[in-house]
């Protein structure tokens, strides 16, 4: 066994240790430790990704001394470390970009605990990426719920508390449905580890006696994860939660956490249920319809928003619709496009939240559209970042957002009855995106209104640089996507080979 | 129809578990009182634990602790579901504690536990467009 193969386990344990140390280290050292942890996590995930891609392997790593099917395992192929790498990069850049606002928004007494919650969020996301056991998946889903609620409610305002409560209610309904689905699947198969589940579910489905039970279990698991991801019509918690948090938390909640659940669902479909059985249950059709509905209806809600952060948050709900549309297409290219959308949205949405708050800073901390007029002139760097993010969200070529849309559109032509609904929803959603994103992008570059007391502000490059790195990564993805898609294809081939 | 009814009677524990889950979920989603939401969460989780414990129990077998030197596995029930229930309880307690913590902070700030009243207060206090 190569030493690199220990890295997924090391990164999970390191996060847990770091969370404990941060708890006693206080704010200053906690912040340094968390930044160091995120940086180390990037290196470790990068090494695992290189190892798996170079050797074209996926491997199971036994945790403890009990072999399968009794013990616990983690699994690494190409997709797992790739997603863990994307999540670590986005979290690090979000934390660095939102550092000044963390110091402003979160009280001195709570800031050390905030870093603990960031560490726990990272550990739960890494575990969701690497787990090979569905019950471990449930436990880390709940840890992720608790940690993400912590980073949300750390900003001590009344609205944030209410948003946190609403977030918890929906999130716990999602976790509950996922848990009862897992229990139901366990009662049918007697297995919890993915490889054994895959084998047993296939045999049970062939047998025919428990098909309704498997369908119900798969439906409950999918619905639970869809609610936690904020898929329409379960998205009502999302705009409030993502817009009320401190900006680093907004980036992490919107760019990373909801994607963790979507990736877990893709992993369960391939590793635990099997794509053939999953598509035979018909659950993907429900996800497709909800995804299409979300793409259009959440975009309409974004147009109606009067607050920039709320508009960006509604746009997240619409973009999550794209991810579930990809899953619901029922093809491997659809899944590939869904993962591309996960990566695109993680990079672009974090950049949009960072630039939106910087534009607000240049408008005397106002977030409503009339006050934002001319904000691009007052803070040109933030204006450029927001405009680039808006172009990416619309799906303009050379930006990251173009690539998944291209794959979705191409794959739509190979579908049956889903072809026209998918194409129509893609067109409608793109037009709506143009309306609200380009409207805002134009508004911030209009001349400032007469009598406006807003002045050009001093640029804080420590918070702009991470956003520019996000922009560079998005552009790299948009201009030269071939290596990324090749990696994804290799990852799906390893998923199917297992 | 008779077959379905006899199946339900035969699996009455699982039916009770599903009913508990549904009651808890409805309370969590639709009740206006924050404390009742937390109670609903616990009822929902209890339903899942009951289902898990029921699926793990086999009539006529004993707890998985070797007694009287009997090592035949057919004599004992599977210990895994009990372990899962215990893990689930730990998770449930943590989440309930967080919900109660949030409830206390909301009550200290607004002196009400009613969600409708809280949203009313919020909409009255909202200042246009400020973060």
Q: Looking at the complex, does the CB of residue B40 fall below 8 Å from at least one CB of chain A?
A: no
Total domain count for chain B? 1
Residue A67: CB partners within 8 Å, gap ≥ 6?
Answer: none
CATH of the domain at B100: 1.10.287.3510
Q: Is the Cβ of B94 closer than 8 Å to some Cβ of chain A?
A: yes
A146 contact residues in B (CB cutoff 8 A): 94-95, 98
Residue A498 has pLDDT above 60, yes or no: no
- DSSP class of residue A253 equals I
CA B75 to CA B54: how far, in whole Å?
A: 17
Cis peptide before A69 (omega within 30 of 0): yes
Out of A139, A161, A357, the one facing B109 most closely (by C-beta) is: A161
- CB nearest B91 (choices: A142, A165, A177): A142
pLDDT band with cut points at 50, 70 and 90 for residue B129: very low
**Range(s) of the domain holding residue B83:** 2-125
Token reading at A427: 């067109």
Best residue in B31, B39, B129 to probe A by mutation, most A CBs within 10 Å? B129
- Band the pLDDT of B25: cuts 50, 70, 90: very high
> Given A138, A145, A365, which is nearest B130 (Cβ)?
A365
For all residues of chain A together, what is the average pLDDT?
91
Q: Average pLDDT in the A5-29 region?
A: 92
Q: Does B90 fall in a domain?
A: yes
Query: SS3 for A133?
Result: strand
Contact (CB, 8 A) for A180 and A222: no
Q: What is the pLDDT of residues B50-94, one digit of tens each?
A: 999 888 887 888 888 887 788 787 888 888 888 889 999 999 999
CB atoms within 10 A of CB A380: 14
Quote the pLDDT of residue A63: 83
What is the ipTM score, two decimals? 0.90
Burial A268-291 (b: 16+ CB within 10 A, else e): bbbbbbbbebbbbbebbebbbbbb
Which residue from A146, A162, A165 is facing B95, i.e. has the nearest CB? A146
CB contact B3 to A (< 8 Å): no
Residues B97-125, mean pLDDT to the nearest whole number? 89
B131 in a structural domain: no
Confidence tier at B131 by pLDDT (50, 70, 90): very low
Work out the angle at residue A445's Cα, subtended by the Cα atoms of residues A443 and A450, and round it to the nearest 5 degrees: 80
Report CB contact under 8 Å: B87, A139.
yes
CA dist A497 and A488 (Å) reads 14
Judging by beta carbons within 10 Å of its beta carbon (0-12, 13-18, 19+), is residue A147 exposed, middle or buried? buried
User: What percent helix, strand, coil does chain A show, rounded to 5?
Assistant: 80, 5, 15
Give A60's strand partners: A75
CB spacing of A180 vs B48 below 8 angstroms: yes
Token look-up 């414990």 returns B53
- Which two tokens mark A52? 């798996």
Q: How far apart are CA A129 and CA A132, in angstroms?
A: 9
What DSSP assignment string belongs to A139-173? HHHHHHHHHHHHHHHTS--HHHHHHHHHHHHHHHH
CB contact under 8 A, B37 and A169: yes
Span A241-247, average pLDDT: 86
Q: How confident is the model at residue A144 (pLDDT cuts 50, 70, 90)?
A: very high
Decide if B39 is inside a domain: yes
Mean pLDDT value across residues A104-117: 88
**Domain residue ranges of chain A, discontinuous segments joined by +:** 1-281, 282-498
Per-residue pLDDT band for A131 (boundaries 50, 70, 90) equals very high
pTM of the model: 0.94
| Yes or no, beta carbons of A172 and B52 under 8 Å apart | no
Query: How far apart are the C-alpha atoms of B81 and B76, rounded to whole Å?
Result: 13
The alpha carbon of A201 is separated from its chain's Cα centroid by a whole number of angstroms, namely 28
The pLDDT score that the predictor gives to residue A349 is: 93
């Amino acid at each position: 066994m190569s030493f690199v193969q220990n890295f997924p386990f090391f990164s999970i344990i390191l996060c847990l240790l770091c969370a404990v140390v941060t708890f006693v280290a206080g704010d200053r050292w906690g912040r340094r430790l968390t930044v160091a942890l995120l940086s180390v996590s990037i290196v470790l995930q990068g090494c695992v990704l290189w190892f798996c891609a170079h050797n074209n392997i996926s491997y199971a790593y036994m945790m403890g001394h009990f072999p399968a099917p009794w013990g616990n395992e983690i699994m690494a192929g190409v997709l797992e470390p790739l997603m863990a790498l994307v999540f670590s990069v986005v979290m690090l850049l979000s934390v660095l970009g939102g550092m000044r606002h963390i110091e402003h928004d979160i009280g001195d007494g709570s800031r050390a605990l905030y870093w603990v919650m960031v560490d726990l969020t990272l550990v739960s996301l890494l575990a969701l990426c690497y787990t090979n056991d569905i019950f471990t998946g449930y436990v880390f889903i709940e840890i992720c719920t608790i940690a993400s609620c912590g980073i949300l409610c750390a900003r001590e305002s009344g609205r944030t508390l209410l948003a946190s409560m609403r977030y918890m209610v929906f999130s716990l309904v999602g976790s509950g449905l996922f848990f009862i689905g897992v229990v139901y699947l366990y009662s049918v198969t007697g297995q919890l580890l993915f490889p054994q589940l895959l084998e047993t579910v296939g045999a049970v489905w062939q047998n025919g006696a428990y098909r309704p039970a498997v369908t119900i279990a798969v439906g409950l698991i999918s619905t639970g994860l869809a609610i936690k991801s904020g898929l329409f019509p379960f998205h009502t918690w999302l705009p409030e939660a993502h817009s009320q948090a401190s900006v680093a938390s907004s980036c992490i909640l919107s760019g990373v956490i909801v994607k963790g659940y979507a990736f877990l669902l893709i992993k369960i479909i391939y590793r635990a249920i099997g794509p053939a059985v999953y598509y035979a249950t018909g659950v993907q059709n429900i996800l497709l319809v909800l995804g299409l509905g979300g793409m259009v209806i959440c975009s309409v809600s974004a147009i109606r928003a009067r607050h920039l952060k709320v508009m960006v948050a509604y746009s997240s709900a619409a973009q999550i619709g794209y991810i579930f549309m990809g899953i619901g297409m029922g093809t491997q290219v659809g899944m590939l496009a869904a993962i591309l959308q996960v990566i695109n949205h993680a990079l672009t949405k974090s950049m949009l939240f960072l630039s939106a708050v910087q534009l607000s800073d240049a408008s005397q901390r106002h977030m409503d559209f009339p006050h934002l007029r001319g904000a691009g002139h007052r803070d040109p760097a933030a204006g450029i970042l927001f405009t680039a993010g808006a172009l990416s969200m619309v799906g303009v070529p050379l930006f990251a957002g173009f690539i998944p849309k291209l794959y979705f559109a191409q794959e739509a032509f190979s579908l049956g009855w889903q072809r026209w609904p998918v194409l129509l929803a893609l067109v409608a959603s793109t037009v709506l995106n143009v309306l609200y994103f380009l409207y805002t992008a134009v508004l911030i570059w209009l001349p400032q209104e007469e009598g406006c007391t807003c002045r050009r502000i001093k640029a804080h490059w420590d918070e702009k640089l991470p956003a520019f790195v996000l922009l560079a990564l998005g552009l790299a993805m948009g201009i030269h996507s071939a290596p990324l898609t090749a990696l994804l294809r290799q990852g799906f081939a390893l998923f199917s080979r297992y | 129809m008779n077959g379905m009814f006899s199946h339900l009677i035969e699996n009455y524990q699982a039916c009770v578990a599903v009913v508990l889950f549904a009651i808890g979920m409805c309370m969590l989603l639709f009740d206006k009182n924050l404390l009742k939401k937390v109670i609903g969460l616990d009822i929902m989780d209890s339903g899942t634990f009951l289902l898990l414990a029921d699926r793990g129990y086999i009539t006529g077998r004993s707890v998985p602790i070797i007694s009287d030197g009997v090592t035949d596995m057919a004599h004992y029930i599977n210990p895994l579901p009990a372990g899962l229930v215990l893990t689930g309880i730990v998770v449930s307690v943590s989440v309930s504690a967080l919900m109660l913590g949030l409830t206390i902070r909301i009550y200290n700030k607004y002196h009400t536990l009613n969600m409708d009243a809280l949203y009313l207060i919020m909409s009255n206090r909202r200042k246009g467009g400020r973060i």
